[in-house]
Structure 1
């Protein structure tokens, strides 16, 4: 019985608890004993043969989440079964399928025709021709046995070599870098890029100022000097129009206070200023639980390089009537109760006067955005892992916000 067949037999019988490791061997009850590092006939899609140790650990832990299984296998220094092999391997070991293309059996034992026949050595036979024939048969058999033995010895050498090979890294472990904070590297890189852009803008400043002074008032920006806007700063803060009146002070952006949303009072500054998404739970630990009442963010990057300050708050109930006139945007949670006691009669009025944004992971289910798709809000998607794409999402927010403010100023 080979290790793979024995493991399949015990799995189907429900006797996995009888497979016990003793030093460097696995004992299958009182039936079989195999070395833990013995190669089985099951070949992974990556080309290597799985060892008995790998398959025993997998079949006893196949019910847990694959990422947890990979982590536990690394902790026990046991090579893991790859994700692509899990389903077909489990089906074979549990008996759902009778065979698999991944199984590569070792060369079979010597067939009966290679085994010496006792009748060929009859002591009562004195016939020379018979002896000659028997000798010819023996020579042929010895020749075949020699070839088979050479092949077997060669396979044994390969097995010995493979048995002592140990993988140092897999495709997940190789990505691990201890004591490295790549977030700080990304922020530093972003700041260097902003400094480069600032220097370039400064170099163009003198020419733009001279040009703006020569232009008529009708050629200037909406409420801003053309030179001021193009140079990268505002002569006065942008205002939110409501009912034809301009709200006083810095514009306000509202975020949910609930943690189940992606953007909160804790991580909004890194996202809107630096273009980097940091999970809320990570920011809470960094800030040691200190909850800010208000956060000031600046639009430091966009296609027109304008720098504008905004207040970010997460307690709408604390806003005064005059504060509501300064609210320009809101990150929605996707729940009706978020807008309870807000000074708007319905969603139509709310999202006509305030632009709404809904942040989601790009691979989230469609159901997660089912409610907000019924509202007049902008859905912005980010990746769970590709942080270099966050900057484009933040830029999309600023572009949408400025477009909305300009449209309101014309209405």
Structure 2
């Protein structure tokens, strides 16, 4: 019996515990013995034949998650099966399917019985896979006076493959031992946060400088006094936008898709990064109180910057005058203690966005659909589509700012 069939037979019968490793061989109870490194008839989608050692380790650890299984295989220095091969191989070994296209008919390899005197000797050039020992003797002129039987040419490739033992697969080649790329990610994240803080301070300094410049341009009247030039003001539907950078509010709750942790990647880079991934990358660093974002997704010159905050409870009246947009959670309690009568007044003065996964149930947006809020849908897996969603937010926000500045 070939090693693949023997392993399948023992798996179906629930006798995997009867397979034991003795030296460089696997012994199947008292029935068969095969070298650990022998290639089986199961060919992976990558083109290589899986060894018996690989299949035995997999069938004993198939209950693990694939990532955990890979780590365990690497730890034991055993070549692992690939994810695409996992389910069809398991179905075959457990007897759920009778055959598989991945199985190749190889020259028969005789399993050596535990009590047999004849040993499996692939290293012996005179050992021919699948050859009849009597035909070998006849062809070599040994014994008997009968007509010598013609021996088929030795399959040297098969002989070499029996001796081969894969040292590395594609995943192990990609490993970089003693290299911690997580620290690189953390360092990059910290540099980006520092850049954001620098930009925020720089913009605030520019605002202060412009204010002082306006004050210095006061004109002297004929009487020797000073005639102060009034400062230009923008109005937001009857309510002025306060001096300083406009504010965009995001929820502080983690169950929303857009938070202060990932809003910059979404609005500036057009990429959605889950909040939990960003939090892990920060490795205990404190949550930022404010993040500055600019439109960088088009060839348009950057002409505006926005502050993103998630603690409106700490706002002063002048801070509320700067609020121009809000990402909603979809819950009424998000607006508790806001200086507005209800959500109708809120979304008359502030543009609202609700970001959701496109395959979420309709119920998740049931309340939001009753509000004057723009629903933005993104994919759970297709990150290349995030850019279009981010641009839609920017287009709506810029239209809103233009309409309010001319009102």
Shorter-chain TM-score: which interval? 0.5 to 0.7
Residue 312 of structure 1: how far off its partner (Å):
2.0
Quote the residue 1:331 is aligned against: 327
- Aligned residue for 2:378, secondary structure, equals strand
Residue 241 of structure 1: how far off its partner (Å):
1.2
- TM norm structure 1: 0.66
Q: What is the CA–CA distance in structure 2 between the aligned matches of 1:154 and 1:297, rounded to whole Å?
A: 64
Quote the residue 2:246 is aligned against: 251
Q: What is the CA–CA distance in structure 2 between the aligned matches of 1:340 and 1:151, rounded to whole Å?
A: 84
Residue 183 of structure 1: how far off its partner (Å):
8.6
Cα separation, partners in 2 of 1:164 and 1:400, compared to 1, 3 Å = same
Q: What is the CA–CA distance in structure 2 between the aligned matches of 1:44 and 1:257, rounded to whole Å?
A: 48
Is residue 317 from structure 1 mapped to residue 317 from structure 2 by the alignment?
no
- Aligned residue for 2:292, secondary structure, equals strand
Q: What is the CA–CA distance in structure 1 between the aligned matches of 2:365 and 2:77, rounded to whole Å?
A: 47
Structure with greater helix percent: 1
Quote the residue 1:95 is aligned against: 95
Matches within 5 A, 1:298-313: 298-299=293-294, 301=296, 302-313=298-309
User: Contact 2:42/2:50 (CA < 8 Å) preserved in 1?
Assistant: yes
Quote the residue 1:404 is aligned against: 400
Quote the residue 1:381 is aligned against: 378
User: Contact 1:41/1:49 (CA < 8 Å) preserved in 2?
Assistant: yes
Residue 91 of structure 1: how far off its partner (Å):
1.2
In structure 2, the gaps of 5 or more residues are 109-129, 139-143, 196-230
1:73-102 CA distances to partner (integer Å, 9 max, x unpaired)? 233332222222222111111111111121
Cα separation, partners in 2 of 1:105 and 1:173, compared to 1, 3 Å = same
Q: What is the CA–CA distance in structure 2 between the aligned matches of 1:236 and 1:94, rounded to whole Å?
A: 78
Quote the residue 2:73 is aligned against: 73
User: Contact 1:357/1:377 (CA < 8 Å) preserved in 2?
Assistant: yes
Cα separation, partners in 2 of 1:307 and 1:71, compared to 1, 3 Å = farther
- Aligned residue for 1:366, secondary structure, equals coil
Pick aligned residue for 1:356 from 352, 355, 379: 352
Residue 152 of structure 1: how far off its partner (Å):
5.1
Pick aligned residue for 1:265 from 260, 266, 278: 260
Q: What is the CA–CA distance in structure 2 between the aligned matches of 1:153 and 1:289, rounded to whole Å?
A: 61
Cα separation, partners in 2 of 1:380 and 1:98, compared to 1, 3 Å = closer
Residue 14 of structure 1: how far off its partner (Å):
1.4
Matches within 5 A, 1:215-230: none
Quote the residue 1:371 is aligned against: 365
Aligned residues: CA RMSD: 4.1
Cα separation, partners in 2 of 1:49 and 1:284, compared to 1, 3 Å = closer
User: Contact 1:66/1:83 (CA < 8 Å) preserved in 2?
Assistant: yes
Quote the residue 1:204 is aligned against: none
Residue 253 of structure 1: how far off its partner (Å):
0.9
Q: What is the CA–CA distance in structure 2 between the aligned matches of 1:48 and 1:339, rounded to whole Å?
A: 60
Cα separation, partners in 2 of 1:383 and 1:367, compared to 1, 3 Å = closer
- Aligned residue for 2:154, secondary structure, equals helix
User: Contact 1:359/1:382 (CA < 8 Å) preserved in 2?
Assistant: no
Cα separation, partners in 2 of 1:93 and 1:357, compared to 1, 3 Å = same
Q: What is the CA–CA distance in structure 2 between the aligned matches of 1:42 and 1:236, rounded to whole Å?
A: 77
Residue 43 of structure 1: how far off its partner (Å):
1.0
Farther-moved stretch of structure 1 (277-286 vs 246-255): 277-286
User: Contact 2:39/2:51 (CA < 8 Å) preserved in 1?
Assistant: yes
Residue 333 of structure 1: how far off its partner (Å):
3.1
Quote the residue 1:61 is aligned against: 61
Q: What is the CA–CA distance in structure 1 between the aligned matches of 2:351 and 2:301, rounded to whole Å?
A: 21
- Aligned residue for 1:60, secondary structure, equals helix
Residue 384 of structure 1: how far off its partner (Å):
6.0
Q: What is the CA–CA distance in structure 1 between the aligned matches of 2:390 and 2:18, rounded to whole Å?
A: 57
Quote the residue 1:164 is aligned against: 165
1:33-56 CA distances to partner (integer Å, 9 max, x unpaired)? 322211111111222111111111
Structure with greater contact order relative to length (CA < 8 Å, sep ≥ 6): 2
Residue 26 of structure 1: how far off its partner (Å):
2.3
Number of aligned positions between the proteins:
334
Cα separation, partners in 2 of 1:94 and 1:278, compared to 1, 3 Å = closer
